[in-house]
Amino acid sequence: MSSILILIPLFGVMILNLPFRSVMKRLAFWFAAVLFLVQMIVAVFHHSTIWGSSMTIFDPFFKVDFLTDNLSFIVLLAIGVVSLTSLIVARYTLKDENERFNFINLLIIASIGMSGIVMVSDIFSLYVFLEITAVSAFILIALQKERQALEGAFKYIFLSAIATIMMLSSIALLLLLTGGTSFAAIKAVVSGPGASFFGKFAVGLFLCGLFIKGGVVPFHGWLPDAYSTAPSAVSVLLAGIITKVSGIYTLMRIVISVFGFDVHISHILMFAGAVSIVTGALAALGQSDFKRMLAYSSISQVGYIVLGLGTGTMLGILGAAFHLFNHAIFKTLLFVNSASVERETGTRNMDSLGGLSAKMPVTGATSVIAFLSTSGIPPLAGFWSKLMIIVALWMSSNYAYAVIAVAASALTLAYFLSMQRRVFFGKVAEGLENIKEAPGGLVFVSIALAAITIGVGLAFPVFYTQLIEPIKELITW
C-alpha cells in the first residue's frame, strides 16, 4: 500500500495534462491539496500493518521495493505539510494561471521524488528518486525565467550534477563490491572494521554527494542564490523540505541503515555540522535581503542535524530526526512570512522595511514564534530538539561541539532579533503606511504552522513517545 503515495500522484499528473486543459487547471489545485492532506493523514495514522511491509510495484518490468518505518513517516508528514503550504503560497503569489498550473505539476512530481526517497530500500532506486526531485527543483527555481532565478537554477543544477557523478561512481563501486544495490547487501560489505579501501572510498563519495544536496558547508555555494531568487512558493518548498529530504534525510538513512558508524564518519559529520552551524549563523548576521538571511539560517540549522547524527548515539540521532521535522516547520513559516512581506511591500530589503507589525500583526507575531523556536527558546518545539542534540554531545564527551552548539544559538537569536527589529518593530517605514495584512490563505498557513510549533513544544512528551522514540528500532549498534 505504500506505493499509492507514488502511483496516485503519478497518474494524477498524467490526467491533469490530458485535453480539457481549462477544466484541469481549475481542478489542479484541489487535486494537489487533497493529495497532500491524504499523505499527512497516512503519516499520522500509520499504525495499520498495511503500511509496514515491503511492497513491490511495476513487476516484472522493473522492481522498486518500498519499506516504511517510523523515520519514514515523520518525513512523509513533513513533506505533506510543506507541500500543502507551498501550494497555498503559490495560489496567492503566482498570478499567471499557466505558471501556477505548471508549478502544481512540478510540485506533485517533486513530491513523488521525495516520497520515493523516503521509502526505497535500495541505493540505485534512491538515486533515481533523488534525480526526479533535483530536476523538478531546478525547473521550479527558474519557473518565472527571471535572470537572477536562472543564475540560481544554474548553480543548483551544476553542483547537483557534480553530486550525481559522485553518487553514481559510488553506486558503481558498491555494485562491483557487493553484487547488489540493496541496503542490506551493501551494509554487509562496507560496514564494520573489515571494509576495504574501495568500500570506504565509495562511502566517502556518496557522503560528499549528499553534502552538496543538503547544502552542508563547504558545499553550500548554490543554496543562498537558489533560495533567495526562486519564486516565493518555490523558496518555501526548497527551504522547508526538498534539501532536507534529498540531502539531510538521505544522509541520516544511509548512515543509519547502510554505512553504519565508525570513528572517521563520526568525526567528519560532527566537524561538517559544527562548521555549517557557525558559518551559516555568521553569514546570516550580515544579510539585508530577507530571504537570503533565511537561506544562511537554513545552512546553520542543518548543521545541528548533522552534528546530532554525528554523535552516533541514540539520543543524538533521535534529536537529529526531531530537529529535521522542527526545521521543516519553523523554516517554512519564516519563508511564508517572507512571501507575505514581499507580496505586500514589493521588497525583500530589510533596510527598506520597518514597523510592519502595526500593519501586519499576524505575520509579525508568527515570525516571533518561528525565530524563537529556531533559536531554541523553551517551550517551543525547536528547544527540545536542540536540547536533545546538545545533551547527546555532552554525554558523548564532545564538549567543544556542545559549546559551539549553545553559542551558535545565541548568534541565531542575534540575527533574528536584528531581522525582527528591521522588518517588524519600530515606526512604519516611509511609503508603507497603506499596506495591510497578507491575504487570508497566507495568514491561515502562518497561524497553522505557528500552532504546530507551539503544540509540538507543549506536547513534547506525547509527540516524542508516538513519533520520535520508535526510531530507536532502526538503530542496531
Express as a percent the part of the chain with pLDDT over 70: 94
Determine the average pLDDT of the residues in 328-343: 92
pLDDT at 453 over 60: yes
> 120 — phi, psi (to 5°)?
-75, 160
Judge contact between 330 and 370, C-beta under 8 A: yes
Output the pLDDT for position 58.
46
Residue 192: pLDDT band by 50, 70, 90 thresholds? low
**Sequence ranges of the domains in the chain:** 286-477
Residue 49: pLDDT band by 50, 70, 90 thresholds? very low
Helices (H) and strands (E) in the chain, counts: 21, 2
List, for residues 198-229, the tens digit of each pLDDT value. 878 888 899 899 999 988 888 888 888 888 88
- Does pTM surpass 0.85? yes
Output the pLDDT for position 54.
45
Residue linked to cell 546530532: 308
Cα–Cα distance for residue pair 340/363, rounded to 1 Å: 8
Distance linking the first and last C-alpha atoms of the chain: 30
Express as a percent the part of the chain with pLDDT over 90: 42
Output the pLDDT for position 456.
92
Residue 234: pLDDT band by 50, 70, 90 thresholds? very high
The CA distances from residue 48 to 44, 53, 70, 397, 464, in Å, are 11, 10, 12, 40, 20
Alpha helices in 346-380 (DSSP H): 356-359, 361-375
| Number of C-beta neighbours around residue 135 at 10 A | 16
Determine the average pLDDT of the residues in 289-298: 90
Cα–Cα distance for residue pair 449/339, rounded to 1 Å: 15
Cα–Cα distance for residue pair 321/213, rounded to 1 Å: 18
pLDDT at 353 over 50: yes
Determine the average pLDDT of the residues in 440-458: 93
Judge contact between 263 and 133, C-beta under 8 A: no
pLDDT at 166 over 50: yes
What mean pLDDT is reported for the chain? 86
Cα–Cα distance for residue pair 129/122, rounded to 1 Å: 11
Output the pLDDT for position 56.
47
Cα–Cα distance for residue pair 214/120, rounded to 1 Å: 19
List, for residues 246-287, the tens digit of each pLDDT value. 889 999 988 888 887 778 888 899 999 999 999 999 999 888
